[in-house]
Each structure stands twice: as C-alpha cells, then as structure tokens.
Amino acid sequence: MNLPAELQTSPPQSGISCIGWHAANGQGALKGFADLHITAFRLRLHGCAVFDTGSRQWVALPSRPLLDRDGQPVRHEDGKPKYQPLVSFDDAAMAKRFSAAALEAVAQYVPGLWGRP
C-alpha cells in the first residue's frame, strides 16, 4: 500500500503525526480538531479535539454526542452536552502520554497555535 505524501516524511519521535487540522470557530477551550496518524499501527484518528484553557492543553480521542431515546443530546447539569468515547486507553497515564505526543504533533503542523513559533 502506498502512503500519501504527507505520511511519507519521517514521523516525530513519538510516532504520532498530525495530518490535518480544522480550527474551531467558538470561543471556549476548544481550539480545533486534529487528524492524527500513529505510524506504528498505520492508524488514522480523525477529529481528535484539541483544547486549551490557558493553563493547560490536551488532546481528546474522537467521541460523539450521547443521545437519548428521542435522538436529543443528553446534557450535564450545566447544559453542556455529554459525549461518549469511541475509543479509549486502558489507563490515565497512557492517555496523558498520548495527549502530550499529540500536542507536539499538532504544534508542528499548526505553527503559532499557542503563540509559539
């Protein structure tokens, strides 16, 4: 199988590359959505949410809104929608490692995202 041109470059040390970016238009912590490639598994994760609260940044694995029987979004007490994970890690430590590596890949793909060149 031939890899697309964007995947033929050397991957970062972590083995995670950002291959696409879609900026969010909102004002909250959500900065946008990254498409990531995990080289060792030849796996593409589409729509990983990238967040920045000012004091902390992280990348979340793809998820979808949780819906009730009538197809309406289920909401938290504060009115924000609940999300259901599509994939997950076995433990929090591995999720943090993934997030750190994914943030590095996104920063390389989107220079200046956090005010850094």
Please indicate, yes or no, if residue 45 is contained in any of the structural domains. Answer: yes
Enter the pTM of the model: 0.81
Please indicate, yes or no, if residue 3 is contained in any of the structural domains. Answer: no
- What is the pLDDT at residue 104? 94
Please indicate, yes or no, if residue 28 is contained in any of the structural domains. Answer: yes
User: Is pLDDT larger for residue 45 or for residue 28?
Assistant: 45
Task: Check: CB of residue 106 under 8 Å from CB of residue 50.
Answer: yes
Task: Return d(Cα 40, Cα 72) in angstroms, integer.
Answer: 38
What's the CATH number where 29 sits?
Answer: 3.30.1120
pLDDT band at residue 101 using 50, 70 and 90 as cut-offs? very high
Please indicate, yes or no, if residue 87 is contained in any of the structural domains. Answer: yes
The tokens describing 55, both together, are 């004091």
Task: Check: CB of residue 31 under 8 Å from CB of residue 103.
Answer: no
Number of folded domains that form the chain:
1
Please indicate, yes or no, if residue 40 is contained in any of the structural domains. Answer: yes
pLDDT band at residue 1 using 50, 70 and 90 as cut-offs? very low
Task: Return d(Cα 107, Cα 61) in angstroms, integer.
Answer: 17
In this model, does residue 7 exceed pLDDT 50? no
Please indicate, yes or no, if residue 46 is contained in any of the structural domains. Answer: yes
